[in-house]
Amino acid sequence: EPEVTQTPSHQVTQMGQEVILRCVPISNHLYFYWYRQILGQKVEFLVSFYNNEISEKSEIFDDQFSVERPDGSNFTLKIRSTKLEDSAMYFCASSGDREIYGYTFGSGTRLTVV
Amino acid sequence: SQQGEEDPQALSIQEGENATMNCSYKTSINNLQWYRQNSGRGLVHLILIRSNEREKHSGRLRVTLDTSKKSSSLLITASRAADTASYFCALSNFGNEKLTFGTGTRLTIIP
């Protein structure tokens, strides 16, 4: 069964550093998303991406964050100048016909900012 | 803001019993989805029910939706130890892309 692949599974970074979280969505999907889950809290929407541009973003997704689809397969989330409160599990998701099949999530990247 | 509220927050049952989890929400939805999350892992899509549907089945899962009461339930029949996980409802509203997740029900199946 097709999967959404995320790398790395765990990343530790120093406060103030930049990190890039990587995702390979399912190949024939057109819609891409990033969500995050702070430990013990609910899953929160960050951004959606369609047709090579951001289609929607949340209040969390400020200038510190950016997304990119650098080629036909990868989808990245860049977090600049990381803060302690950015520590969370970050999930990438993709969907084809989301009205029928919902979303396929990756296994997540656990980001720890120290 | 729109989000689902699941209840109960935690549920422990014996293996073989049925488990029922509920989700309530506040505003109109396009569809409602249920996801499972094993501890520290990703979210697995279980089932999607549209606003014009009342009931859907998938294997041992049965989902109902009552738009007049703004609530949904997820029933897992003949539970197994492997069903131990957190279960989330997620709401899709008209006109926007995002899913809004609820707070989840932590289900524990006792062998």
Q: Does B94 touch chain A (CB under 8 A)?
A: no
Question: What is the rounded distance in angstroms from the CA atom of residue A76 to the CA atom of residue A55?
Answer: 15
A76, A20 contact by CB (below 8 A): yes
A20, A77 contact by CB (below 8 A): yes
Number of domains comprising chain A: 1
Q: Does the pLDDT value for residue B65 go beyond 60? A: yes
Rounded to the nearest integer, the mean pLDDT of chain B is 93
Q: Does the pLDDT value for residue B13 go beyond 60? A: yes
CATH number of the domain residue A55 falls in: 2.60.40.10
Which pLDDT does position B76 carry in this prediction? 98
Torsion, Cα B55 B59 B61 B65, to 10 degrees, reads -10
Which residues of chain A are within 8 Å of residue B35 when distances are taken between CB atoms?
Answer: 105
Sequence letter at residue A14: Q
Q: Looking at per-residue confidence, does B5 or A60 come out higher?
A: A60
What is the distance in angstroms between the Cα of A43 and the nearest Cα belonging to chain B?
Answer: 6
Question: What is the rounded distance in angstroms from the CA atom of residue A82 to the CA atom of residue A19?
Answer: 8
Q: B98 vs A98: CB contact, 8 Å cut-off? A: no
CATH number of the domain residue B102 falls in: 2.60.40.10
A58, A41 contact by CB (below 8 A): no
Task: Count how many residues are written for chain A.
Answer: 114
Number of domains comprising chain B: 1
Which pLDDT does position A7 carry in this prediction? 96
Q: Which domain holds residue B101?
A: 5-110
Give B1's pLDDT tier (boundaries 50, 70, 90).
Answer: low
Q: Does the pLDDT value for residue B31 go beyond 60? A: yes
| CA dist B11 → A3, A40, B88 (Å) | 30, 17, 13
Percent of chain A with pLDDT over 90: 81
State how far Cα B11 lies from the chain centre. 13
The arithmetic mean of pLDDT across residues B25-44, rounded, is 91
Q: Which domain holds residue A80?
A: 5-113
A17 DSSP 8-state letter: -
Which pLDDT does position A73 carry in this prediction? 86
Which pLDDT does position B2 carry in this prediction? 63
The arithmetic mean of pLDDT across residues B89-97, rounded, is 85
Condensed to tens digits (0 to 9), the pLDDT of residues A62-86 reads 999 999 998 878 999 999 999 999 9
B39 DSSP 8-state letter: T
**Tens-digit pLDDT profile for chain A (114 aa)?**
789 999 999 999 999 999 999 999 999 899 999 999 999 889 999 999 998 899 999 999 999 999 999 887 899 999 999 999 999 999 999 998 877 778 999 999 999 999
Which pLDDT does position A2 carry in this prediction? 82
User: Angle at the Cα of A68 (from A66 to A72), degrees rounded to 5?
Assistant: 170
Name A105's bridge partners. Answer: A93
Q: Does B103 touch chain A (CB under 8 A)?
A: yes
Report phi then psi at B30, rounded to 5.
-90, -50
Task: Name which of A98, A102, A106 is nearest B42 (Cβ-Cβ).
Answer: A106
Give B52's pLDDT tier (boundaries 50, 70, 90).
Answer: very high
Place of tokens 């396929």: A104
Region for residue A32 given its phi and psi (left: phi exceeds 0; alpha: psi -120 to 50; beta: otherwise) = beta
Helix (H) or strand (E) holding A99: helix A98-101
Question: What is the rounded distance in angstroms from the CA atom of residue A38 to the CA atom of residue A110?
Answer: 10
